[in-house]
Amino acid sequence: MNDFNKTLKSRYKHIKQEAIEQWEALQSNPDPVIYLGMGSCGIASGAGEVWNAVEKNISGLKQKIHLLKVGCIGPCYLEPFLDIKLPGKPRLCFNNVDANRAEKIINEYIIKSEAKLKPLGHLGEQVEEFDGIKSFWSIPMLKNQKRIVLRNCGIVDPENIKHYIARDGFQGLINAFNKGPEGVIEEVKIAGLRGRGGAGFPTFKKWQFCREAKGSPKYLICNADEGDPGAFMNRSLIEGDPFALLEGMLIAAYAIGSNYGYIYIRAEYPLAIHRLKIAINQMQKTGLLGKNILDSGFDFEVKLKEGAGAFVCGEETALIASIEGERGMPRNRPPFPAVSGLNGKPTNINNVETLGTVPNILRKGGKWYSGFGTEKSKGTKTFALVGKVRRTGLIEVPLGTTLREIIFDIGGGTLKPFKAVQTGGPSGGCLSKEFLDLPIDYESLTEAGSIMGSGGLIVMDEHSCMVDIAKYFLRFTSQESCGKCTPCRIGTRKMVEILERITEGKGNMEDISILESLADTVKKGSLCGLGQTAPNPVLTTLKYFKDEYEAHIDKKRCPAAVCRDLVVYRVIKEKCTGCQRCVEVCPAQAISGPRSEPHNLDPEKCIKCRACYEICRFDAIAGDAIIIE
Amino acid sequence: MPGSTNTILEQNPSNDKGSLITILQEVQKEEGYISQEAIVKISRHLRISRSTIYGVATFYSQFRFNPPGRNSIKICLGTACHVQGGDFLLNALQLEIGIKPGETTEDRRFDLGRVACLGCCALAPVMMVNNNIHSRMSVIKLREVLSKYE
Ligand SMILES: Cc1cc2nc3c(=O)[nH]c(=O)nc-3n(C[C@H](O)[C@H](O)[C@H](O)COP(=O)(O)O)c2cc1C
Ligand code: FES
């Protein structure tokens, strides 16, 4: 082994020793440790109040108790999560914790040690049962998942570099230094990693182009703009394991020969930004960022740039314009950013998940990684499983898993009969139930008329109107169109107008063929990916749900009872108990009737705000006497 | 805070035109919005025309050009929230406080904006007031949530 490798190894060994000691101390701590899931989703479900309650409850105790925060572990619908680790026992995980439940858990498990409240599962290394408690990883939502990029999320404190290091963090970087830049690119090639930002371009090729490009300095940009509305994979990964992204950036930068990195992150993610700042700071202090990293001779620094709210800035040339302080407008390619990007210099842009996966590939080998997935789509992919599915949250599965496995086995199916699943965000499409057995990979989704995209999976049931969804996406893209090219600017606007007409019951059959021809023009004539894919939601709904368009046009009916202009609200006399709750909530005084007698709803006054409908369902007394049809 | 724009400009070198968006973000953070005066000052500092600055600022949905209310409501119109009834929420909210997105109530209690996803899609529909995210919202929970903000 040469001298360089020796010093490198010994520097890392020293840091790692310290980290392992701290991490092990947590695992075999004589004092109880409490972990709280404090990702954005946890906090939105009330984890902040739980944190305060825990602090209050443990402050008076004689016993020392450690309180730590972790990121999101995945099943957001069960948030907030509280884990408790007692000496000699595996870490136990409790779901849907509020201040009261937290107090109870502390009381039963720490103060009195007469545990009655059942945890959801244990997080011990072994998957076997412990004391009659199942492993957390064996619950239905988790058991068919494969966690590679999410391996630390919800497990470690994302604001403590030592936790990351203790779990083999930066081992990938060490291996990268040993292999040399070309060796790193070769390893990523063997892994078969493709870009997770949407298009699925082979990552090694991009790196090679940039490495071979002439010019310096070279830049590495992480695309953390996550503009797809309804997706939060990148947010969760950064909040739960920011060091994985940063290690991935180090490895990528080393491979392409760049010393300057940017993370372009959307301003709507304040917590992710906060955690990245902490992580960067800790890495600088540990000698993992800055000059001569781990005595390797390699320098790298990272800057954060906050996006300012424009979907199109996720497109790479627009993103570069935005970092340069301009309007985020895409430009024609070539030249590709690998040749002429930021400040006219060679630039490589990768998505958060792509970069977050890289350390795992370098740590365990490209061959290992390529063992997951399909022939052409290797590895695992994270998805935001949301919409009308029972178990919502963030999941990670091997590519090639079918939509049915994801929606029904992992997601637990829908409450009302399943209708469609939307993949790929505004550039993607809606797939009907005929596609449930489709294995998810880049090619098969494209073939079906949708795309993989960044990983949003929005499930829809009988109560979702497909024409409304098409209108929703086209409104979004027409508002987010940067305006530079005409097909996209005008074409999407015209399509919205037609869809609005149809959902108002003013459409005619000719509108469908106009929509189709406009879609074709916009697809072919637009400058960037935004316009080229914008018609997809319309085309797929037209293809798989034409009957719904026809119902809106012919019968002036919305089968899902969503489109406001085509529905009426009614009281079912037989079901109404006369509880008067709807009378109270109606802002338009459209409902009347004495207590205990069926109420009257005046359709002339009704503004279709849905308040009465919701309260009627919400309240057991009222039952579901109000319907929309 | 008057004068805070000056402080921000001092911290950003005048030859770095790439810092325009960062400067606008910092000004908005300090003063709540981008005022005419702020644009004039930035224009002098970076030697970029006012119309260019205005062009950049209006391109991004984050920037506002009128003073905000005491409480800022952002309603999520992302896909997950839309599927779970986000539109109805926005409608009811507009009825309740009497303003449209982009406006501020006369008593300056609320301003209203929309956002295309807050990243809490699993808990849809969501809305954010100041920095608090309210998840699994419904038309009937609206009044209760609003009453927490004076
Ligand atoms: C309109 C539009 C929006 C995009 N938004 C994003 C985004 O939010 N995040 C992302 O990583 N890539 C986005 N992309 C894709 C990027 O242009 C680019 O392909 C990607 O960041 C490359 O990273 P990867 O090779 O690691 O996937 C978008 C593309 C288009 C055309
Ligand atoms: S769609 Fe509303 S939070 Fe994502």
Range with lowest mean pLDDT among A246-255, A304-313, A604-613: A604-613
Residues in B closer than 8 angstroms to A308, CB to CB, are 21, 24-25, 60-63
Give the pLDDT mean for A210-236. 95
The total of other beta-carbon atoms located within 10 Å of residue A524's CB is 11
Q: Are B17 and B46 in contact (CB under 8 A)?
A: yes
pLDDT single digits (tens) A50-106: 999 999 999 988 888 999 999 999 999 999 999 999 988 899 999 999 999 999 999
Residues in B closer than 8 angstroms to A326, CB to CB, are 20, 56
Compute the distance between CA of residue A611 and CA of residue A599 in angstroms, rounded to an integer: 15
Range with lowest mean pLDDT among A8-22, A30-44, A227-241, A246-260: A8-22
Could you tell me which chain B residue has the CA closest to the CA of A310? B60
Q: Are A159 and A278 in contact (CB under 8 A)?
A: yes
Task: State whether residue A397 is helix, strand or coil.
Answer: strand
Residue B75 touches partner A, C-beta closer than 8 Å: no
The Cα of A365 is separated from the nearest Cα of chain B by a number of Å equal to 32
Maximum CA extent, chain B: 53
The Cα of A555 is separated from the nearest Cα of chain B by a number of Å equal to 23
Architecture in CATH for domain A564-625: 2-Layer Sandwich (3.30)
Give the pLDDT mean for A238-244. 98
For residues A201, A148, A93, B81, the Cα torsion angle rounded to the nearest 10 degrees is 0
Residue A615 touches partner B, C-beta closer than 8 Å: yes
Per-residue model confidence (pLDDT) at position A1: 45
Q: Are B127 and B76 in contact (CB under 8 A)?
A: yes
Q: Phi first, then psi: what are they for B81, rounded to 5°? A: -70, -35
Per-residue model confidence (pLDDT) at position A4: 59
Residue A111 touches partner B, C-beta closer than 8 Å: no
pLDDT single digits (tens) A520-568: 999 999 999 999 999 999 999 999 999 999 999 999 999 998 999 999 9
Q: Are A594 and A527 in contact (CB under 8 A)?
A: no
Encoded tokens for A69: 């925060």
Grade residue A113 by pLDDT with cuts at 50, 70 and 90. confident
For ligand 2, the distance from its centroid to the CA atom of residue B93, given in whole angstroms, is 17
Residues with CB under 6 A from ligand 2: A 229-230; B 76, 78-81, 117-121, 124, 126
**pLDDT above 90: percentage of residues in chain A:** 79
User: What residue spans define the domains of chain B?
Assistant: 4-59, 71-146
Q: How far is CA B34 from CA A579, A605, B66, in A?
A: 50, 41, 7
pLDDT single digits (tens) B10-24: 888 888 888 999 999
pLDDT single digits (tens) A369-410: 999 999 999 999 999 999 999 999 999 999 999 999 999 999
- Please state whether A534 falls in left (phi above 0), alpha (psi between -120 and 50) or beta: alpha
pLDDT single digits (tens) A140-176: 999 999 999 999 999 999 999 999 999 999 999 999 9
For residues A332, A335, A336, A338, the Cα torsion angle rounded to the nearest 10 degrees is -150
Encoded tokens for B140: 């009937």
Q: Are A366 and A187 in contact (CB under 8 A)?
A: yes
For residues A125, A130, A133, A138, the Cα torsion angle rounded to the nearest 10 degrees is 40
Residue ranges with strand state E in chain B: 71-76, 110-115, 127-129, 132-134
Residues in B closer than 8 angstroms to A76, CB to CB, are 120, 122-123
Which runs of consecutive H residues, i.e. helices, occur in A28-66? 40-44, 47-59
pLDDT single digits (tens) B85-139: 998 899 889 988 999 998 999 999 999 998 889 989 999 999 999 989 999 998 8
Grade residue A620 by pLDDT with cuts at 50, 70 and 90. low
**In chain A, what is the straight-line distance between the N-terminal and C-terminal CA atoms, in Å?**
76
Task: Specify the CATH class of A466-554 in words.
Answer: mainly alpha
Q: Are strands A260-265 and A301-306 parallel, antiparallel or unpaired?
A: parallel
H/E stretch holding A353 reads helix A352-364
Give the pLDDT mean for A362-366. 97
Give the pLDDT mean for B54-68. 92
Q: For residue A510, is pLDDT > 50? A: yes
Give the pLDDT mean for B5-10. 90
Residues in B closer than 8 angstroms to A476, CB to CB, are 116
Q: Rounded mean pLDDT of chain A?
A: 93
- Show Cβ contacts of residue A461 under 8 Å, excluding neighbours closer than 6 positions: A388, A414, A415, A416, A417, A418, A419
Q: For residue A204, is pLDDT > 90? A: yes
The Cα of A43 is separated from the nearest Cα of chain B by a number of Å equal to 8
Give the pLDDT mean for A235-256. 98
Q: Are B45 and B5 in contact (CB under 8 A)?
A: no
Which one of 3.30.360.10, 3.40.640.10, 3.30.70.260, 3.40.30.10 gives the CATH number of domain A31-123? 3.40.30.10
Residue B95 touches partner A, C-beta closer than 8 Å: yes
Residue in A624, A621, A592, A622 with CA at minimum distance from that of residue A606: A592
Grade residue A624 by pLDDT with cuts at 50, 70 and 90. confident
Compute the distance between CA of residue A478 and CA of residue A518 in angstroms, rounded to an integer: 13
- Show Cβ contacts of residue A275 under 8 Å, excluding neighbours closer than 6 positions: A158, A159, A238, A239, A242
Q: For residue A628, is pLDDT > 90? A: no
Residue ranges with strand state E in A249-390: 260-265, 301-306, 347-351, 380-387
pTM given for the model:
0.94
Task: State whether residue A409 is helix, strand or coil.
Answer: helix
Note which residues in 479-518 of chain A have CB less than 8 A from chain B.
480, 482
Could you tell me which chain A residue has the CA closest to the CA of B58? A327
Percent composition of chain B: helix, strand, coil (DSSP 3-state, to 5): 50, 15, 40
User: What residue spans define the domains of chain A?
Assistant: 31-123, 161-370, 466-554, 564-625
ipTM over 0.90: yes
At the topology level, CATH places domain B71-146 in Glutaredoxin (3.40.30)
Per-residue model confidence (pLDDT) at position A616: 85
Residue A185 identity (one-letter amino acid): I
Residue in A492, A500, A497 with CA at minimum distance from that of residue A467: A500
Q: Does domain A161-370 have CATH number 3.40.50.2000?
A: no
Task: State whether residue A486 is helix, strand or coil.
Answer: helix
Q: Are B55 and B37 in contact (CB under 8 A)?
A: no
Q: Do A232 and B121 touch (CB under 8 A)?
A: yes
Q: Do A305 and B22 touch (CB under 8 A)?
A: yes
